[in-house]
Structure 1
Amino acid sequence: GAGGVTIGIELTYLRSVFHAAKQLWKMPIDLNVIAETRASIKYLGIRTKSTERDRRPTANEVTLICEWFNAKGNRQKVPMPDLIHFAMATAMRAGEIINLKWCDLNEIDRTIIIRDRKHPQEKMGNDQEVPLLNDAFTIAMRQPRTGDLRIFPVTDGTISSLFPRACKAQNIIDLRFHDLRHEGVSRLFEQGYRVEQVALVSGHKDWKMLARYTQIRAKDLHRSEK
């Protein structure tokens, strides 16, 4: 029942195991079996790479979602409207946001350190200092200091549970919290930041990965001639 993307990831892991078995322990492993398996999967029409999403929330959708949470008043303990706007202002992942700590916030420089940020090779120790642009710093500073080390003391899974609930209640189709990261990166380009500046905020190591966020159209290039 695994999907193509999961199968592709598992084949990558298996190749590492097979390679170690052949090189280190001299086991009679045929490394071509992985390549042959990938070819067979491709022949069957199974995609092993995830489809890139380009879904961006509209201003009206953001308003509707935030109004749904605000209408709950004191019953809504999780500051979802702040989390939503913070995500769009910083282009951070949900997991990065809920693990931000007060001790890593530099109020003078208006920067914060993201600990162990997601990296294709480095799983631990990839700490990155990023600026809190737009309304991000203001949003962070107005969070109550309850004694928790974190700025947004939210448990894992809470955001991924509450956000789709609000979307469903407001009849908003095919919008995920992670799409707010896409929105944040797109906004940075629209504000005129250069690719290396956007990469510093978003954490992308491969600048080519940012190309899809620019959403440049051929006809827009004529504007530079005017």
Structure 2
Amino acid sequence: MASILKVGDAWRAQVRRKGYKSISETFSTKAQAVAWARKIEAEMDARRFNDTRGLANITVKKLIDWYFEEVGTAHQFGKNKIAVLLTWQRTRGHISLADSSADYLTTFVRDRRKAGASGITISIDLTYLGSVFKSARDLRKLPLDLEPLNSARANMAHLKISTKSNERARRPTEKEISDLCDYLDKHSSLPMRDIIHFATESAMRVDEITRLRWIDLNETDRTIIIRDRKHPRQKQGNDQEVPLLGKTYEIIQRQPRPAQITCESRIFPVKVDTITTIFPRAKNALGIKDLHFHDLRHEGVSRLFEQGYQIHEVALVSGHRDWKMLARYTKIKAKDLHHARTKP
């Protein structure tokens, strides 16, 4: 039984249960003290009581440090997840877990929006922090409640913050591609013309193109293996063999091969950061508006549909696991359906 004691003008309730640390609370009336004690005892009897007092001594920074060390050694985190969690540590790492309430997290949402972050970015911030909390709850048995995170996410709807990403429909014109290639021929020694055309023909991401290796080229079947292809859950080992359609095989064949091919010999030995720096400069110099290198992948997927390939065939080339995601890439005009379906 709980003990209810009068202390001055207040009432103190104290609960002792085997397997739990003693817990007490002070109230202005005896009725409040009794009601609180009964609630705590009922939660303990039902094994639902979470003693959160120890959370005040653990900061968000300390918990993320543990997450990197304990979970990060077993699973490779993506660059974006690492960057987001480091930002949590740098900007709000001093906050204790006990103070990570729904109100606090909703204030975080408001502050991020005022700073110009999109809804999808804010949602990702909460998702990654939630993965830390969930792991700590399951592995360290910390009495962490995920409801504040869920409440903050729900409040985004009340604040009219959309968590849906804006779908791009931008496709480069033939003239834009030609102008970009001509400009880069004059201002860069890198094989940017071949890289651009390879991107539009293969529908590969820029990091996939720069990681292609000579040892993964099957010249008999005209296929190549993309190592560690992007996957929503599997960060490593997601290797995929894809066909080299259109002119992609010819483009590869004219790349200079090293005298001795090793496991690390790349077909396009160019850094991603170099491409994503050179491409915007060329685009801006030519006055081309709102065009990203990733739009070349969009162009490549759209061309496959226009050539008559079925959705499962396009998915094999593009690497999409969810076929619904391909809808955002298929911006085919109604008049195109009058054309006869042909395959190259």
Same fold (TM over 0.5): yes
Q: Does the CA contact (< 8 Å) of 2:169 and 2:331 recur in 1?
A: no
Instruction: From 160, 183, 196, give the equivalent of 2:312.
Output: 196
Structure 1 residue 29 corresponds to structure 2 residue 144:
yes
In structure 2, what is the Cα distance between the partners aligned to 1:70 and 1:21? 53
**Equivalences for residues 116-131 of structure 1 within 5 A:** 116-131=228-243
Alignment of 1:74-223 (within 5 A): 76-146=188-258, 149-216=265-332
Alpha-carbon distance, 1:3 to partner: 1.6
Unmatched 5+ stretches in structure 1: none
| 1:56/1:96 CA distance change after superposition, 3 Å | same
Structure 2 length-normalised TM = 0.60
In 2, distance between residues paired with 1:80 and 1:217? 30
Which residue is equivalent to 2:153? 38
Q: For each residue in 1:110-147, what CA deviation from the matched residue of structure 2 results, as whole angstroms up to 9, or x when unmatched?
A: 10000000000100000000011000000011001135
Alpha-carbon offset, residue 31 of structure 1: 1.7
Q: SS of 1:112's equivalent?
A: strand
How far the C-alpha of 1:106 sits from its partner, in A, is 0.7
- Render the CA deviation track for 1:77-120: whole Å, top value 9, x for unaligned: 21111000000000000000001000000111110000000000
Flag the structure with more relative contact order, 1 or 2, with Cα contacts below 8 A and sequence separation at least 6. 1
For structure 2, list consecutive stretches of 5 or more residues without a partner in the other structure.
1-114
Between the aligned residues of both structures, percent identity stands at 59
Match of 1:18 in 2: 133
**TM-score (norm: length of structure 1):** 0.90
Following superposition, the deviation at residue 217 of structure 1 comes to 5.4
Equivalent positions of 1:64-79 (< 5 A) are 64-72=179-187, 76-79=188-191
Task: Measure how far apart 1:69 and its partner are.
Answer: 1.3
The residue identity in structure 1 corresponding to 2:169 is D
- Partner amino acid, structure 2, of 1:16: S
| CA RMSD, Structure 1 to Structure 2 (Å) | 2.0
Alpha-carbon distance between aligned partners in 1 of 2:141 and 2:312, rounded to the nearest angstrom: 44
Contact 1:8/1:49 (8 A) holds in 2:
no
CA deviation map 1:4-44 (0-9, x unaligned): 33321121122222223333443332221111101222222
> For residues 27-73 of structure 1, what are the alpha-carbon distances to aligned partners after superposition, in whole Å with 9 as ceiling and x for unaligned?
3322211111012222223333321111100011111111111234x
> SS at 1:86's partner residue?
helix
